[in-house]
Amino acid sequence: MKAFIIAGQDAPKFAAKALKEEADEAFVMSQSFVPVRTGNLLTSGEVRGPFVRGSKIECFIRYGGPAAPYAAIVHEVPPNSGGRWGTGYKHDFPTRWKYLENPVRLYARGMGDRMTHRVLDMIAKRFEIGA
C-alpha cells in the first residue's frame, strides 16, 4: 500500500517527465520540416518546460525569437501564395509551411498511450517491479 501512496505523490513528476520526452520527440520530428535558407529558423527552435502549475503540466515547442523573427510568416503563409507579406516561398522537400503544426498534430496521435506507458515504466523503475 505504501508503494501506491509514494507512486501517487510522484505522479506529477512522472507525468511532467513523460510530457517533456514527448515534446522533445515531437520537436525532433518538426526539425526535418523547417525550411532552411540561412539556418536561423532551424536553430531558433526549442522545447521549453515542463511547467507544472497545480494539476496543469505544459511544455512548449517554439521557433523564432530575435534570431528568426519571421518564423510565424514562414509557418503561416502557403508556398507560392504571395501571401499578405509578399512571401510564400516554395519550400524544398521535405521542408514546408506549417513545419511545427503538422508534425505535432501527427505526433499527438497516440500520445496518451505513449505517456501512459512512459509513466508506468517510471513507476516500475521506481519500485524495481519486474527486476
73-86 pLDDT tens trace? 889 888 777 655 55
Of 18, 34, 47, 128, which Cα lies nearest the Cα of 89?
Answer: 34
Euclidean distance between CA atoms 75 and 79, whole angstroms: 10
Residue 7 confidence class, pLDDT cut points 50, 70, 90 = low
Euclidean distance between CA atoms 12 and 30, whole angstroms: 27
| Contact between 10 and 124 (Cβ < 8 Å) | no
Q: Please state the rounded mean pLDDT for residues 22-44.
A: 95
Residue 72 confidence class, pLDDT cut points 50, 70, 90 = very high
pLDDT the model gives residue 21:
96
Of the two residues 41 and 91, the one the predictor is more confident about is 41
Alpha-carbon torsion 117, 118, 123, 129, what sign?
Answer: positive
pLDDT at 119 > cutoff 60: yes
48 forms beta bridges with 60
